[in-house]
Structure 1
Amino acid sequence: MTKFLHAADLHLDSPFSGLKGLPDYVWQSIRQSTFHALRSLTDAAIQSKVDFVLLAGDIYDLEDRSIKAQAVFREEMERLDEAEIPVYIIHGNHDFLAEEEMHLEMPGNVTVFNSNVETAYLTTKRGERIAVSGFSYDQRWITERKILQYPHRDPSVDWHIGMLHGYAEGNHSEHAHYAPFSIQELQSKEYDYWALGHIHKRQQVSERPLAYYPGCLQGRNKKETEPKGFLMVNLTKTEQTVHFEPVAPIEWVNEEITIEIGWTIEDVYSAIKEIVDRQKENNTSSFLTLTLVDDGGVPENVRRKIQNGELAEAFQAAREHAAFVWVNEVKLKQQTANKMPALKALFPEEWAKALKEVQQDGVFRDVTSDFFQQARQASLLEVRNEFYRENIVEQALEHLYAVMGVDEDED
């Protein structure tokens, strides 16, 4: 048998998106969260006495990788070296191979794959022979089918494992320029396990052979919900098990509350507090996004308290705790539709085209350029990165849907 740890998308020292006005103790937790998750991963690998560790890309958040992130990562690799645990690494689209003179050297137990598909071999303490095949990105986008360069299963080994940072066709079309592959292509190699990376949502993409995305190690925005961590894999000739281990010190949680007719601000506050108190019982820090569903019975003065952010602020005055629950956002969603016909129903092709265009970086920059050129507004706006663009478009759609009486789920 062989036992190993599979993780991906660590994004060490990565900033969180969509946050502002946080107290210092929350900022400090954020800054340490990815490192905390990495140390927990290392602890688990040592305590479980795994045969090796697989890290399937995006160890760092940027190709220039901060010195702090590299230093912490090297310390953890040295801990694994002392425990005689080999580590196999491929780099992905965020931390692709570049400027080697700016990289700290790793200890001897670490094998980093280069830009060509190659195979590394090891023999476990039980005498089993393992082959690991993979490659690292040498640029941000890899559109070619690198999967075609992977060798067929080596018949001389007990276990052959593939490492691939890319996307499974048919599931995530927006990721088409990240080393695309099909499930059939994975199967054709006849490996025992595929350690995948790039998709931040944990998922199994194949049962024969076993192929998994472990998800990211620490969620960084409100879209990266669910517990985050790594996979512990056991392979024997008669049984294969994959067990998820959560290590993220901070979780992103989305909750929904339906506001009933006649509710006062006290009713709304009490409903939110009940969720906050329940979340505190988990003893895990979390950022909480609350959607209040309005069926049309919310009084205007209550609505105003929600929309101007005052209600969220009431829950942001909590005392400092080791594990915090921070109400990041409270937003209002219309449940009942008015009689105005939806534009997308009348002009479906035009609606789809407009939505697609505004989500593109170039169009978004053109539309918002005037705001960023005005010094007074610019100081209040965030950097126009991908998450910021998606968030603004999402909020604009929510506003349109509320005005037009469109159910968001229809889009």
Structure 2
Amino acid sequence: MRFIHTADIHLDSPLHGLSAYPDAPAEQLRGATREAFRQLISVAIEERVDFVVIAGDLYDGDWPDFNTGLFFCAEMGRLQRAGIPAFVLFGNHDAESQMTRSLRLPDNVRRFSASECEVHTIEALKVALHGRSFKKRDTPENLLASYGPAIRGYVNIGVLHTALEGHVDHASYAPCTLEQLHAQGYDYWALGHVHEHQVWTGRSTICFPGNLQGRSIRETGRRGAVMVTIDGDGPPQVERLFVDVLRWEHLDLDVSACEDLDAVGRATGQGLARLLECDAQVPRAVRVTLRGESAAHGELFQRGGELRAHVLAEIAALGPERLWLEKVKLATRAPAPADTLDALDAAAPSALLGADALADLQALLAEARHDDALLKELRDDFAQMLGKAPDLANELPLLRQVREGDLSALFDAVLPGLLARLAARE
């Protein structure tokens, strides 16, 4: 017996983070959740699975456009013509949806009640599916208490939309523990709500399939559902199915060895090429974060626009139809001041602004750290700037420290770049 377990589809939910990119494929972005679901249904039909389980958050809140629901009905119709039933449990997002309450679904779709735990059986397979939908979005109680015992002689599958316990990134709806799930005595738990894929084994096999399609940079990597195979008395076997049609990636790159902007651009291009080694046919939306103690630190901050242009040039060379840039973030550090001074002096020993002058300037800046009047003036200036653009501090760790009154990191960051700029001009 084989079935597909999916959850957190969020049909027609928008993808965030690429609207500012002029060449982003708007139509592909708008249709990503639909296309991923369409591919999943195609897999179900091609593999001739016995049934499909949807463990909550099919929709994404109270959408006014019934076209979303009509699309779902059409896909369920494809399953019906193939003789495949679908068991649908509604989660916190579905509880708000008008479509959940009023849209008539094809006869092969069986919904779980929100009033009590409901059991659906497939007699030919001796399968019993236990589940309870959300009646309202805010469901803080443990719904597991309403689930009945396993039915003897059947394969028992529990369907539950839950945060479990300890998933702080997700609202704590219908919380329960792994121990409670195992104690229920079911063979398999088809969970939803947590968007990351996870599997636990033991008395029961417990699984979050992860969401079907990543919707922002917070949902990186391969996304999809799971194929579950139950053969004889052995435990259920879980295999991942990847059906996402646009993938979010985070390229976290150490540029410590890069001496200048050109070297950083080349290293970024190599990192982007590595991303395409897996599932090259799936387009990527990429956030690039540069880290490390680099001699290019000052130049990167001074020439932020050129840095973005360098990354876009690398993307253009690799194939703009396969990669889009979500953002470039800088998290580099400047080398220690003494190392920077030695490097500059060695690189330009005959410069008009020599090592002695640089050393004097370094000493002056070191004294500025203890100048109370200057520090107060800087804090006031930064407070005024961050008051006008409060999100800046969330983007740059350095500005978060400044907002909290700590200017030491600011001096550490500015000094190497200032010395490098002066030496380069000379």
Q: Secondary structure at the match of 1:180?
A: coil
Q: Which amino acid aligns with 1:164?
A: L
Contact 1:97 1:136 in 2 (8 A): no
Contact 1:40 1:247 in 2 (8 A): yes
| Residue matched to 2:141 | 144
The equivalent residue for 2:275 is 279
Distance 2:108 2:136 in 1: 25
Partner of 2:42: 43
Cα deviation, 1:135-158, whole Å, max 9, x if unaligned, reads: 111211101111100001112x42
Classify 1:302/1:70 alpha carbon distance in 2 versus 1 (closer, same or farther; 3 Å).
Answer: same
1:324 is aligned to 322
1:294-346, Cα deviation, whole Å (9 max, x unpaired)? 4152253333223786336734984997952112111111346989xxxxxxx
Distance 1:135 1:322, change over 3 A: farther
Question: TM-score, structure 2 length as denominator?
Answer: 0.75
2:264 is matched with 268
Name the CA shift for 1:313/1:262 in 2 (closer, same or farther; >3 Å).
closer
Q: Which amino acid in 1 is paired with 2:263? A: D
Aligned equivalents of 1:275 and 1:187: distance in 2?
A: 42
The residue that corresponds to 1:288 in the other structure is: 286
Is 1:306 aligned with 2:301?
no
Report matched runs for 1:153-172 at 5 Å.
153-155=150-152, 157-169=153-165, 171-172=166-167
Counterpart in 2 of 1:128? 125
In structure 2, relative to structure 1, the CA distance for the partners of 1:27 and 1:313 (3 Å cut) is farther
SS in 1 for 2:94: coil
SS in 2 for 1:207: coil
1:60, CA displacement in angstroms?
A: 1.0
Write the mapping of 1:395-410 to structure 2, written as runs, cut at 5 A: 395=395, 397=397, 399-400=399-400, 405=409
Instruction: Report the alpha carbon displacement of residue 404 of structure 1 after superposing the two structures with TM.
Output: 5.6
User: Which residue does 2:88 correspond to in 1?
Assistant: 89
Call closer, same or farther: CA 1:84–1:278 in 2, change over 3 Å. Answer: same
- Deviation, 1:227, is 0.6
1:228 aligned partner: 223
Find the aligned partners of 1:101 and 1:274 in 2 and give their Cα distance.
47
CA distance in 2, matches of 1:280, 1:101: 39
* Cα offset, 1:25, TM superposition: 5.3
Judged with a 3 Å threshold, the aligned counterparts in structure 2 of structure 1 residues 302 and 335 are, in CA distance, closer, same or farther, namely closer
Contact 1:34 1:217 in 2 (8 A): yes
Residues 182-239 of structure 1: per-residue CA shift (max 9 Å, x gap): 1121122111110000000000144320010000000111121121001000112332
Secondary structure in 2 matching 1:290: strand
Are the aligned partners of 2:182 and 2:202 in contact in 1 as well (CA < 8 Å)?
Answer: no
Q: Which amino acid aligns with 1:142?
A: T
TM-score by length of 1: 0.78
Q: Give CA-to-partner distance per residue, 1:123-179, whole Å, 9 cap, x none.
A: 36xx22211111111211101111100001112x4211111001111x314546300
Indicate if the aligned counterparts of 1:5 and 1:54 stay in contact, CA closer than 8 A: yes
SS of residue in 2 equivalent to 1:160? strand
1:398–1:164 CA distance, 2 compared to 1 (3 A): farther
Distance 1:100 1:109 in 2: 17
State the AA in 1 paired with 2:187: D
**Distance of 2:167 and 2:7 partners within structure 1:** 17
1:121 shift after superposition:
2.7
Residue aligning to 1:209: 204
1:260–1:392 Cα change, 3 Å: closer
The answer to whether the 8 Å contact 1:203/1:213 transfers is yes
- Measured after TM superposition, the shift of residue 76 of structure 1 is 0.6
- The one-letter amino acid of 2:239's match is H
Residues paired across the two proteins, number: 357
Q: What is the letter of the counterpart of residue 135 of structure 1? A: R
- 2:238 alignment partner in structure 1: 242
Of residues 163, 177, 192 in structure 2, which corresponds to 1:197? 192
Larger radius of gyration: 2
Counterpart for residue 4 of structure 2: 5
Q: Which runs of 5+ in 1 are unaligned?
A: 340-369, 372-376, 378-388, 407-411
What amino acid sits opposite 1:184 in the alignment?
E
Distance 1:319 1:21 in 2: 21
Identity %: 28
Per-residue deviation, 1:53? 0.4
Aligned partner of 1:334 in structure 2 is 332
Rounded to whole Å, the distance in 1 between the matches of 2:147 and 2:11 is 28
CA contact (8 A) 1:290 1:329 kept: yes
| Residue aligning to 1:16 | 15
Please give the secondary structure, in 2, of the residue aligned with 1:63: coil
**Matched AA of 2:296:** V
Q: Secondary structure at the match of 1:96?
A: helix
Greater mean deviation of Cα atoms: 64-73 or 44-53: 64-73
CA distance in 1, matches of 2:200, 2:95: 24
